[in-house]
Amino acid sequence: MIKKIKHPIKTLKSIQNQVRTKILYYLDMYGLISPDQIYSEDWYTKMDRETARHDANEVSEILYEEFKPESVIDLGCGIGLFLHSFENQGCNVRGIEGSQSAIKHSVVADIQYADLRNI
């Protein structure tokens, strides 16, 4: 007996995203595409910033309370949401990011470009 899918479009989009993620992983692993091809301008424009900002604030606050750092460096920091939260708590922050698109959309000033695949 074939089971009827309640939300076929949503299910297909989920499968499509999973397949896309795996393909991009292997293309990146073998150096066939760059981080800017994975995390494009479009990706940062469409990302859910409020949810991401909320999550980054929650995690950063826990880490800050536990360790009380004076400075934080984040390798692969994206647009710097975790750094922004630490900066708001008085930390000196620096980010290193492999996507020029992320740096263009950054929420903190001190993010530098580096191809993190070569570190």
CATH code where residue 66 lies: 3.40.50.150
Same domain, yes or no: 26 and 42: no
41 and 82 fall within a common domain: yes
86 vs 55: CA distance, rounded Å: 13
In this predicted structure, the answer to whether residue 34 has a pLDDT above a threshold of 90 is no
| Count of domains forming the chain | 2
Query: For residue 8, what is the enclosing H or E element?
Result: helix 8-29
Stated pTM of the model: 0.76
pLDDT score recorded for residue 1: 62
Mean pLDDT of the chain: 90
Q: Which domain holds residue 54?
A: 35-118
Q: Are residues 39 and 26 in the same domain?
A: no
Measured CA to CA, the distance from residue 85 to residue 77 in angstroms comes to 12
Res. 62: pLDDT tops 90: yes
